[in-house]
Amino acid sequence: MSARTHTRPHPAPRGGVDTRLPWWALALPVLAFVALLTLVLDPSDAHAAAGEPALTHLVERAQQLIAR
């Protein structure tokens, strides 16, 4: 008695579908993750808008985290 073999269906045609993501589709979740991570690591920095720009503070914080 021989075993039955199943044929695989043909793969779906590509049809020119673009599967690439725009740059912001990865950048925004990464930025949100880093912001939340900084709040978890040091909640004392979670105060309202201060005198320095938020982007400068974020870059400095990222440099501190990388240096550890």
Q: What's the CA angle centered on 66, arms 22 and 63, to 5 degrees?
A: 80
pLDDT value of position 1: 58
| Cα-based distances in Å from 19 to 16, 22, 52 | 9, 10, 39
Count of beta carbons in the 10 Å neighbourhood of residue 62: 13
Check residues 37 and 44 and name the one with the higher pLDDT: 37
Q: Is the predicted pLDDT of residue 58 greater than 70, yes or no?
A: yes
Q: What is the pLDDT of residues 10-41, one digit of tens each?
A: 666 666 666 788 888 899 999 999 988 888 88
